[in-house]
A and B are shown apart, each in its own frame.
Chain A
Amino acid sequence: DTGVSQDPRHKITKRGQNVTFRCDPISEHNRLYWYRQTLGQGPEFLTYFQNEAQLEKSRLLSDRFSAERPKGSFSTLEIQRTEQGDSAMYLCASSHGTGTDGYTFGSGTRLTVV
């Protein structure tokens, strides 16, 4: 296993467009997390899945954001009607169980909304 993979690495989009990001976690990890990181800040929690169930969502996850993990493996994060404030690094992580021994993060998708 090569770790947590995220695609694309970079995305530039015009304001108002929809974007979708993909995350492939470590195969034996049942939990998958999405975080957002803006410049000069630490990552902020967005949502997490246990298998295919989305168990928690942050208040940061507005109605324009939706995440899925249909088969309990890869996950997608879609942002509709992007705004300039959505520009950030979107990080995916996975863990086995509750992740008490830490998460494994992907390299992230950097979104720039122009």
Chain B
Amino acid sequence: GEDVEQSLFLSVREGDSSVINCTYTDSSSTYLYWYKQEPGAGLQLLTYIFSNMDMKQDQRLTVLLNKKDKHLSLRIADTQTGDSAIYFCAEGGNQFYFGTGTSLTVIP
């Protein structure tokens, strides 16, 4: 469960949808998580998905899980400038393994 990969950068225009992708390695992970980190701040839990689900929607956020391909994605609808941040996916149990983060820039 130590290889969690994400693309490093994503730019979108305000109002468009953003899709942040993540691949993980530990098929035994029961839950998978998305965190948001703004500059100089700690990590804020956005949402999580149980491994026996393939989709979870929470307001503007949609998480898709393809367990066969070990692929997780986070879709942010109607992206706003306040969504600019680094987004981390994480898997794990007693300890979490985080990806390197995707820096999302929203262009006004």
Binding site for B on A (CB under 8 A): 4, 33, 40-45, 48, 55-56, 58, 91, 93, 98, 100-108
Contacts and interface: CB of A to CB of B under 8 A. Distances in A.
A42 B100 contact: yes
B48 A101 contact: yes
A46 B96 CA distance: 10
A91 B88 CA distance: 15
Interface string B4-17: 10000000000000
Contact of A56 (B40, B94, B96, B99): B94
B45 A103 contact: yes
A56 B100 CA distance: 23
Contacts of B31: 100-102
B45 A104 contact: yes
Contacts of A44: 98
B81 interface: no
A101 B44 CA distance: 13
A105 B96 contact: no
B95 interface: yes
